[in-house]
Structure formats: structure tokens, C-alpha cells
Amino acid sequence: MVETTKYDVVRKDDSFEIRRYHEMLIAQVDQTQYPGFNTLFQYISGNNKGKSKISMTSPVITSEKIAMTSPVMSTASTMSFVVPSEYTMETVPEPSNAGVSIVKIPERYVATVRFRGFAWKNEVRKQTQRLLEWVNEEGIKTKGSVFLMQYNPPFVPGFLRRNEMGIEIVYEAS
């Protein structure tokens, strides 16, 4: 079993949740320049300056390109692995590949919607729309772009797969 990113559920509404994610480190690749999964997998498999193998965690996080109104443009397409919690910025193995960056993500609040099956483009679009409609109906302010979180290895059958769409929010306790 792999380590899963730590969070606290602040609010639950059917398949939607608002979560407080703890501070975390991620290994990130810009997929417009590097093949995301393979580059990150090589990094955790020992292609780093310490030649250290790093345990796989979940979820794998992929930013999603969504249409935005001007003047805001979203062109970034990143894939990230969450670094196991045993590491700090000082102890995480330094990437050998310049395309891999280690980023500290501060504690944050995220609105999510969970769905099962394969994360095909049409399903990701549908779930993104559901999430954005829900946060809009709830009057929740968002920050940044929607991202996909996938929790299972490729060999897990579709009906058992856990996926989520998430977006960072401005959380105001009521």
C-alpha cells in the first residue's frame, strides 16, 4: 500500500468535499517539455543525484487545461508526484534531470469531486464542469486551475479506480 497525501475533510456534500491539505513536497514536470510520467518515474526510481529510490505515493496530480476568460490564460500542463512525508526540502534527493523540480506546497484548501473509472478526457471534462458548477453554486472563490488526482496504478480495473478533480479555494469558515 502506498502513502496517500494527508488531508482533513472540512465539509462533505455527496461526492463533493472541501479539504484542508497539509503542507507537502511535490516532484513536478512541465509536460510541454518532458514526458511527465516517465520523467517522474525515472526520478523516483533512482535517476537523481543521490541515486536514491523514492517510494511511490498517491495521488498522481495532473493540471488540466481549461478554457479561461481573458485576460487570464492557462497554458501550463504539469504532472506531479507527491514526495513521501519522510522527506523535507533539505533531505529530498536532488533531481538529475533539469525538467524535474521539487516544489513545497503550503497548507491549502481544495474543493474536490470524486469519480470512479478511467480518467478519459471526456470524463475529466464532465467532472471538471460538475466541480466548477458546484463551487459556483456554493459561492466558493477559487484560486488557480483545476487539477486531476489519480490514486491507482495502471493495472487496477476501471470500476475500482479512484479519481478526483480538485481546485484550490479561498476557505472561509462559516
Q: What is the reported pLDDT for 173?
A: 74
State how far the Cα of 158 lies from the Cα of 19, in Å rounded to an integer.
25
31-45 pLDDT, tens digit each: 878 788 899 999 999
Strand residues in 69-140 grouped as ranges (E): 78-82, 100-105, 108-116
The total of structural domains in the chain comes to: 1
pLDDT score, position 66: 46
Query: How do residues 70-84 score in pLDDT, each as one tens digit?
Result: 333 334 588 999 999
Segments forming the whole domain that contains residue 69? 3-170
The Cα 51–Cα 42 span in angstroms is 11
Low-confidence ranges of the chain (pLDDT < 50): 66-75
Q: pLDDT tens digits, residue range 140-160?
A: 999 989 999 999 988 899 999
Q: In CATH, what number is assigned to the domain containing residue 72?
A: 3.20.80.10
